[in-house]
């Protein structure tokens, strides 16, 4: 399957998931993006349109502990880091917006890392 077709299918899944997540805007949204080399995660308040917490495999806190960012271990570490930041800010519950990616591999590892730090979804 060509890359453009795969990307279009991912965008369609993204819209479906986002529609369900944004029905109830009382909770914050944890959105995830993965590329071939890195993983990015951020917690967004949709009412105010602001990013409250952000973490990626390119941040300094991540680079101190791990060199490469394209593995499931790296995604778990990013999840742990964003989970720590969220608990410091008092965030206990979020919606998990997987951004159209299938819930497997690095996306699942990041979710498990966030759950380890006490954030529920």
In the predicted structure, residue 1 carries a pLDDT above the cut 70: no
How high is the pLDDT of residue 74? 95
Q: Average model confidence (pLDDT) for the chain?
A: 90
Average pLDDT of the residues in 6-24: 82
**What CATH fold (topology level) applies to the domain 3-116?**
Nucleotidyltransferase; domain 5 (3.30.420)
End-to-end Cα spacing for the chain: 33
Spatial separation of the C-alpha atoms in residues 29 and 74, rounded to whole Å = 21
Q: What is the pLDDT of residue 59?
A: 93
**pLDDT value at 13 more than 90:** no
C-beta separation of 86 from 94 below 8 A: yes
The first and second tokens of residue 11, run together, are: 């965008």
- Each residue's pLDDT tens digit, 52-110: 999 999 999 999 999 888 899 999 999 999 999 999 999 999 988 888 888 999 999 99
Domain boundaries, the chain: 3-116
pLDDT above 90: residue 115 = yes
Cα Rg of the chain, angstroms: 14
* Burial of residue 121 (number of CB atoms within 10 Å: 0-12, 13-18, 19+): middle
3-state secondary structure of 93: strand
How does pLDDT run across 51-60, given as a tens digit for each residue?
Answer: 999 999 999 9
Can you give the pLDDT at residue 121?
A: 84
Compute the distance between CA of residue 51 and CA of residue 48 in angstroms, rounded to an integer.
9
CA distance readout (Å), 71 to 36, 66, 67, 78, 112? 9, 11, 11, 11, 14
């Amino acid at each position: 399957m060509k890359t453009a077709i795969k990307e279009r299918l991912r965008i369609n899944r993204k819209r479906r998931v986002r529609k369900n997540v944004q029905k109830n805007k009382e909770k914050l949204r944890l959105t995830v993006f993965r590329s071939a080399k890195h993983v990015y995660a951020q917690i967004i308040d949709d009412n105010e349109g602001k990013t409250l917490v952000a973490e990626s495999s390119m941040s300094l806190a991540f680079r101190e502990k791990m060199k490469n960012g394209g593995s499931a271990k790296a995604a778990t570490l990013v999840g742990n880091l964003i989970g720590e930041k969220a608990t410091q800010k008092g965030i206990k519950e979020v919606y998990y917006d997987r951004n159209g990616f299938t819930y497997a591999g690095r996306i699942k590892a990041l979710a498990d890392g966030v759950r380890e730090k006490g954030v529920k979804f």
